[in-house]
Amino acid sequence: MCTCITYRNSGFFFGRNLDLDCSFGEKVMVTPRNFPLEFRNGVRWDSHYAIIGMAAESEVFPLYADAVNEKGLAMAGLNFPGNARYAEPAGEGLEIASFEMIAWTLGKYGTVDEAVKDFSYLSVTDTAFAREMPPAPLHWMLADRNRCVVIEQMAEGLKIFENPVGVLTNNPTFDFHMMNLNNYVNLTSRRPENRFSENLSLKPFAEGMGAIGLPGDYSSVSRFVRAAFLKENSVAEEDENSDIAQFFHILDAVAMVRGSVMTEKGTYDITTYSSCINTEKGIYMYKTYDDSRIRRGCMYDEDVDGDRLILCSCHV
């Protein structure tokens, strides 16, 4: 359960809510340009673009949940159970393990256009990172300031969808989410007009009534609609601090409160962390469920020409 958004105003921002019932040992990590990236398809890169993002702590490979590279290309993986169908490695075309998708994409490409051109040959495989870590069923949102796409590996093959709203949640498939937005075409941030009847003198009795019908539950379909509505109607001053505040306000509106969403296991999903990335400055910002202070880490405060993974020095 997650929500990912883009936001463009004074700059271009990318981030997400990570909704889980537990922590995965997440840390803000920098992959410097000269850290050797070895992929399961036999490819090894001794140099590549530098990356910063939230990852599971590892010394051998950056297991990113969301990240950005030095060119401003950002990517996040979101839960996609039931629909994700990874392929078995066949030794043909471009084969990338699901856990490698973000590191491969952000390590190699500077724009969405570059990535999508190669991804016409892509197959996401079911290769596991380790025996005790089976592949997570994911789909991905990939964005730069000019283009946003969603990547879904399903039973019928790989699909790449243009994403004009810059929002992604979970199931169903992305094309369903876009079709479903048509159900809310009458929503507005303005005061509504009386279209009920010409014979009745009806008028709103409170502010905000133009958005009656905006879903407020925590399902992925409702979160998609709510995030898209808030983002499309967002108004903020054109400065970085205002944009960051607005970005987190949008994510807060689709965040999960402990106790509101019980899983099949009887545990509770919460918004473990919310992130906001200034893609043009390489700054990763985040807050956690238990600490609403925004912490910041910048890839350029670290040794981006190094050859070891770096746990980023983040500060309030």
Which residues are the active-site residues? 2
Q: Which two tokens mark 212?
A: 């009656």
C-alpha distance from residue 43 to each of 50, 62, 95, 100, 170 (Å):
18, 16, 10, 12, 31
Which residues, other chains included, contact 91 with Cβ-Cβ below 8 Å and sequence gap of 6+? Answer: none
Give CA 220 to chain center in angstroms. Answer: 13
Contacts 24+ apart (CB under 8 A), 206-209: none
Question: How would you label 246-256 residue by residue, b for 16+ Cβ within 10 Å and e otherwise?
Answer: bbbebbeebbb
CA-derived radius of gyration, the chain? 20
* ∠ Cα 46 51 56 (to 5°): 100
CB atoms within 10 A of CB 303: 15
Cis peptide preceding 204, ω within 30 of 0: no
CB-facing half-sphere around the CA of 206: CA atoms within 13 A: 4
